[in-house]
Amino acid sequence: MVLITRKKLIKIAWLFILVFLMIVVTFPKWIAVFYPQPHRDLIIQAAYDNEVDPYLVFAIIRAESKYQTTAESPLGAKGLMQIMPETAAWIAEQQGIEGFTPEMLHQPDINIQYGCWYLNSLNKEFEGRLPVMIAAYNAGRGQVRQWIVDGTWDGSLEQLDHIPFEETKIYTKNVMKNYQAYLAIYQ
């Protein structure tokens, strides 16, 4: 039988307290490695200009491109926020911007500005309903509007499993998880 002396017990208790404090103090810094804020100044400014939560923008970028400016999807979406060239051309037209080319979507400032403008547009159309905005960012506004009109999905977070496109269902859950993580870490 091993006897632990009072002195050893106190040392063990202090060790546990020290380890606990180290975990508590460093936890936000450690988890931030998985939820970084690349292009922070660009995102904050574009989000502010377009009345969009910057943490939502970070969450979308994490899901869309894993922060890679050169990212390109098999369908042709480009850049940090994975914007389709056709959508970007429409955004440029709506904003009165001339000379847009699809390769410009690999420039962080343009990609983020266009993505934030588009999120603001979705926010207005879907009256701030976050799950609907996120699903529409992935599947397209017309598709999501049709699901709601048809009663396929009510647009709520609780009914995400009713989204008929598996990719959009997974994407919406992923962005919501990312968004909650960004809020918990940085707010």
Active site residue 64: yes
Residue type at 99 in one-letter notation:
G
Q: How far apart are CA 160 and CA 176, in angstroms?
A: 11
Of 51, 64, 93, 98, catalytic: 64
> Are 175 and 63 contacting, i.e. CB atoms less than 8 angstroms apart?
yes
Structure tokens at 19: 């380890």
Q: How far apart are CA 46 and CA 52, in angstroms?
A: 8
**Residue 70's Cα: distance from chain center in Å?**
18
Q: What is the DSSP string of 86-124?
A: HHHHHHHHHTT--S--GGGGGSHHHHHHHHHHHHHHHHH
Question: What positions carry a catalytic annotation?
Answer: 64
